[in-house]
A and B are shown apart, each in its own frame.
Chain A
């Protein structure tokens, strides 16, 4: 295992296998990888270009792909999923100390003289066979609760955005560790050499009142080899940075220069014998094929009328959430392992009434469409869809409280996530919170349990799935004990 890791760390130095035409060569590697050695040069190069299809799975996972929809800012669980009718009697009463239990607050509300309870202003109804209570803001989710797993007892340690989002993405509040997607890319490898294994997309919310910072560090590879960082798919300009040829350079001209380049590099390889030159030659060919495959991928107009309609009116507008999740489905369909989507503006410190409906409208229908779409294409069982923010929100109001409006501060002690597909057991409602949606009272799911569960679905034992760094077997789930939440698995 360690030796293999060592090999991967040095993956750019493929000295074992290639030395021009002399040594083992790429054809042999291809055969080691369980493929027939290429007969034609083109085929050989096509096999040779991508990273070896290393697959470090400990067992066959049910999920081959993940689409992870991160709601940046932290949605208010009690306005969406965590129904607390008792709170209606508590309107504008103070949060009892017996509930808060001295828990630390952010400095945005720690100075408040009172912590008046703000019951959710939205109506809730029960749905499906599982009987999940959902807010009126989520009419599309209501149609498919029996395909979904709701975890109402998620909890985290961080209380502000930057550490919290880092924690849920990388298992550590301090930045610099690999994120979940990088781990998946590292462990599973690629299914399509013309596309990245791990892609990130940042969707634009309609309302932008309280957008939070995110940063490229969230999709970095940390101590894992650099190629496991996400490739950014963008809604404006080139979908992948620099994917388009310069103006006045059609594909045929690019091909001609690449042909010349390849011949010249082959001469260099003969001259110096550096195996890295071989890798470079292959990477230029791969880049060329990527250039060809991306326009096809991003051409959403080629989807059927019915499909587009399912995702709603905004689907063809670049950068919308609908547009982004449809692209995510197309990526997954073509073999991308992990698609990370971010959508911002869930940080409802104030104006829940004004903002939350817009946020829900942005995501509700597209999420429904995504799951129906995956089902129709037979991808649902293979693809794990995850939805949630970095923490929850307080039952008490931040700032002014009225029946018509209120705000909510950050709350780490409980929040709701949902998952679907990829080996999860549809119609599961897991975990319970107290009447105040303040503390977990049953089946808590700390972040590391959640990570362990996702890794399990991908075919990894979280305790063994590690990477040697600074002498330690580093794991996504860290050193504290944690468990796979088997209760939510199919």
Chain B
């Protein structure tokens, strides 16, 4: 306890002495913090929590109730109450366990005596470009930033530090622009460049590198909460990386920040939207989602909307809007109504509550590979043109059709349905009773089923259809027993009546024998096929990428060519071949099984529900695409034709016409053939590419409900989309949707967007924002260290056309940035956290930078940009410890080869178990928006950089470089090592230490050859066998030592 007291005392002294600059009382600086802490929780903006209907956050309310009488503290109820000795009267009441200090009481009294002036909270007043302040040392101020910084330093009696030496500067600026250490050549070139603008040239050069976008994008992805899994429950893979690549590319194109904002908040709503703009709307699809069984959809949807609203508020406005979910904000002018009105903008998406545990939860779009883009556009255009022609032909052909219809015969039509190899046919349209017609190998028989189905209306082929229910399965023991090298086909008309169904439509599969057999399968409404000897080591699994439309009949067909390969499985919906995901592709052994063919489930489980079937068929051969087309269309045509002409509805006549066009009309067929070819190409392009999760508005008007205490089932008033009343008005001309919302954020009079944005950028460079609480610009956030500078930067940024590169260049060009990071005792006392910028920025690098530094300095780094996320080294068991059985991110299967050495922003992020070595260095799990990471300094971090295979392998790789091209002498080798890692040579006292280390290491490894071999074999890459193992081992450990230097780990 003694320690605590002393410490508290020491801190108080320090705080008070630093705030004694002048005696004037400022509301924002001196009074508001007291009121915020002591009074506002019960007498502030939150109407629900307000006690006695006294409100102190607004001057007129406080004066109106005589709580404050300006100029007359003794008549003010506030002063009477805070001085009261009566436990019933005293404020704050003892129950809240907070007491005012004598100092605070005195401040309040003085403030009231001086007139009790309030000030609006600074960040809610739009910034105006301030005058540049006067400074004594004009020569030091290289640009406007410097004038503000210097003015502050001069008034604090501090002088700026000298400019850092060129090598330090080259390293610093390289790290800030690219996130990577500089090459030896780049530093040498800069040191040798005597021109006046050498530094500027360096910046310009670095800013053109593609690593710029990677480095800037990495910060943004924290705010966007980008990750590669859904986050909750199964925490399965989410194919989201096209959004990540969009972010990198947007920075590299130096997209103006206003456009950057609009495209991410509303890319899907833009007129003539481009593919890229739609991908950008993925910002609002990065939130965590669930598919936990038992979840209540409305509860889940409310949480998604809430997350989007909080994220957007935090990123663009620095508001902790989450507080207003359950009650009016305690401090900031943000009511519950404000929150839910803002939420309404983000509450109108077609996204379902359940993510389906699939990588491509709708709404999604296809994204071709960059190199396929041109072809993709060509194919899309060609298809459009051909489809138009098809329409024309359709109009012209009507007469021919009518002629045909007059003479057509049912038998002729029926003969068009493929019958060769038809092993089983179940019409499933009897319409009543418990006896079902089966045609097995051409022999008709019937099967009696007691329960487990229902006849329901509106069939596709026949009036009534077979709805699967809980109960007895329909089983046909003699059908569907195929061998793995035999082609076969299964098809049915399928209607899913509730989203998200999974189970077997037709299966001959033995649950108890490692799922041996096959099935026609629905996986969250996506049709697919399993062909299995032993799941999942000896099996094929292919699933269509697109879910079936709910409540519509779809003709589903899977066909297998007996090749034992996933490429031999094709999936068709309504006669059209589907792009697929291959989830298993290794089949060597038999698939024959004794369990019967079963409708609606496998032998024991995976029973479907909410699914209706008709016309199920199994063929003992692979059908051709044209046959599948016939199968899709003809049975219904037969039905229709069998009806007397006067009983056909107009719609049925049209359906028959469609059938006729496809099957009988040559010109139509020819065109259709071309379309099919083009579609094949489209499918190939789709399958090669990826997808993007996008936003997509419902057709109805956006709205939300105010939710009592934030609870999903306690709805209060409905609200329309609107922005908070305390902020600038919504532009009249802007639409009340996300486009309008984005434009509202970008108005010149918006007080927050620019400030919050430039502050976050500043934080990236200086480690701390001008407003330290970069995610909270509200009343409880910290005041800016340099308010005028912040406003100047904010206005300048907007007026420069929201030019991000220009902004950063200006910062990096400033003298404030270029200062040496040397700390003097004076500065440590008077500017302990470097808030006044009395020295250059120096702080531990972020997790990703530390790993990338090792890879880059050693030469292991693969500079490839973008693409699917990768799985580099990670200790065994990190995923397995937490993941559910059945999750597809349960077993961490690390990649091999170049994927081990990609930049860390490409590392696969599983939210339930984020990348271990990065997490230890405060990388976030990306579950929610984070605009400011913790920066701790712990022993567990030391263990990573000392022992993690990726750092040790990097050390060995760098040691090899040093031994091979670093010359023969110790000095020249040590020099190269230092230049690669520190961008400088070693000083003589450092050289002595390093030499001593190397001597001891060499002696050890010469005497312990086996240890040397083991050490250099650590990691996937092979050690250079031309090097002596003992020498390489000694240099590996020396490099490991230097890689762990404080100077390496710090920017």
Q: Give the B-binding residues of A (Cβ under 8 A).
A: 1-4, 6-7, 10, 12-13, 15-16, 19, 22-23, 32-34, 49, 52-56, 104, 106-108, 159-162, 174-176, 202, 208, 211-217, 220, 225-227, 231-232, 234-238, 240-250, 252-254, 256-257, 259-261, 263-265, 267-269, 271-277, 279-281, 283-284, 286-287, 290-291, 409-410, 463-464, 470-472
**Do A248 and B822 touch across chains, with their CB atoms under 8 A apart?**
no
B940: chain A residues at CB < 8 Å are 231, 240-242, 287
Nearest chain A CB to B837's CB is how many angstroms away? 15
A174 to B1012, CA, bound (A): 51
Q: Which residues of A contact B936 (CB under 8 A)?
A: 12, 225-227
Interface size on B, residues (CB 8 A): 119
Q: Contacting B3 at CB < 8 Å: which of A34, A242, A472?
A: A34
A359 to B832, CA, bound (A): 55
B828 at the interface (CB under 8 A from A): yes
Residue in contact with B887 in the complex, picked from A108, A213, A277, CB distance below 8 Å: A213
Q: In the complex, are the beta carbons of A236 and B876 less than 8 A apart?
A: yes
- 9-residue interface stretch from B586-594, B644-652, B1037-1045: B1037-1045
Report yes or no: B1047 in contact with A268, Cβ–Cβ below 8 A.
Answer: yes
Contacts A34-B2, A275-B828 given; indicate if A248 touches B1049 (C-beta within 8 A).
Answer: no
In the docked arrangement, what's the CA distance between A86 and B901, Å? 65
A-B complex: 7 closest residue pairs judged by Cβ atoms? A471-B780, A106-B294, A248-B1015, A215-B912, A248-B1014, A260-B997, A273-B823
A104→B7 contact, CB < 8 A: no
- Whose C-beta in chain B lies nearest to the C-beta of A208? B885
CB distance from A469 to the nearest CB of B (A): 9
- Across the interface, do B938 and A227 meet the contact criterion of CB distance under 8 Å? yes
The yes or no answer to B434 lying at the interface (CB within 8 A) is no
Q: Pick the interface stretch among B122-130, B209-217, B917-925.
A: B917-925
Are A236 and B877 closer than 8 Å at their CB atoms?
yes
How far apart are the CA atoms of A345 and B235 in the complex, in Å?
A: 17
The one of A254, A264, A280 in contact with B937, judged by C-beta atoms closer than 8 angstroms, is A280
* Known interface pairs A216-B914, A232-B881; 9 further A-B residue pairs with C-beta atoms within 8 A, sorted by A's residue number: A4-B8, A13-B833, A237-B875, A259-B997, A264-B990, A274-B823, A287-B946, A470-B776, A472-B41
- A107's nearest neighbour on chain B, judged by CB, is B294
CB distance from B877 to the nearest CB of A (A): 4
B11 touches A23 (CB 8 A): no
Which listed segment binds A: B108-116, B626-634, B927-935? B927-935
B842 close to A (CB within 8 Å)? yes
A472 vs B326: C-alpha distance in the bound complex, in angstroms? 14
Check B942–A284 contact: CB distance below 8 A. Answer: yes
**B987 interfacial by beta-carbon distance below 8 Å:** yes
Interchain CA distance A226-B1040 in the complex, whole Å: 26
Q: Closest residue of chain B to A161, judged by CB?
A: B292
Q: How far is the CA of A275 from the CA of B925 in the complex (A)?
A: 29
Per the 8 Å Cβ criterion, residues 906-920 of B in contact with A are 911-914, 916-917, 919-920
Is the CB–CB distance between A32 and B997 below 8 Å?
no
Given A174-B303, A268-B1045, A283-B938, the answer on whether A247 and B294 have CB atoms closer than 8 Å is: no
Q: Is B458 engaged at the interface, CB distance under 8 Å to the other chain?
A: no
B1033 at the interface (CB under 8 A from A): yes
Q: How far is the CA of A225 from the CA of B922 in the complex (A)?
A: 11
Supposing A242-B943, A247-B1015, A267-B989 touch, asked if A211 and B7 sit within 8 A by C-beta, the answer is: no
Q: State whether the Cβ of B265 lies closer than 8 Å to any Cβ in chain A.
A: no
A and B contact pairs by CB, cutoff 8 A, 8 listed = A16-B14, A108-B293, A242-B944, A246-B1015, A253-B1001, A272-B821, A273-B823, A284-B942
B913 touches A287 (CB 8 A): no
The answer to whether B877 and A237 have CB atoms under 8 Å apart is yes
Measured CB to CB, the nearest residue on chain A to B989 is A267
Q: Are the C-beta atoms of A217 and B780 separated by less than 8 Å?
A: no
Expressed in whole angstroms, the minimum distance between the Cβ of A194 and any Cβ of chain B is: 9
Interface centre among A6, A33, A264, A267 (most CB of B within 10 A): A264
Question: Nearest chain B CB to A369's CB is how many angstroms away?
Answer: 24
Residue of A nearest to B609 (CB): A111
Select one of A217, A237, A250 contacting B925, CB under 8 A: A217
- Tell me the smallest distance from the CB of B707 to a CB of chain A, in Å: 13
**CB atoms of A240 and B943 under 8 A apart:** yes
Name the residue on A nearest B773 (C-beta): A470
Task: Find chain A residues with CB under 8 A from B990 CB.
Answer: 264, 267
Contact A217 B927 (CB under 8 A): yes
CB atoms of B949 and A246 under 8 A apart: yes
Interface string of B681-712 (1 = CB under 8 A from A): 00000000000000000000000000000000
A166's nearest neighbour on chain B, judged by CB, is B232
Residue of B nearest to A22 (CB): B825
Q: A245-B947, A260-B996 are in contact. Are A23 and B1015 (CB under 8 A)?
A: no
A217 CA to B926 CA, complexed, in Å: 10
A276-B844, A280-B1046 are known contacts. Are A10 and B824 too (CB-CB below 8 A)?
A: no
Measured in the bound complex, the distance between the Cα atoms of B299 and A107 in whole Å is: 12
Which B1-26 residues sit within 8 Å CB-CB of chain A?
1-4, 6-8, 10-12, 14-15
A214 to B912, CA, bound (A): 7
Residues from chain B with a CB closer than 8 A to the CB of A267 are 987, 989-990, 993
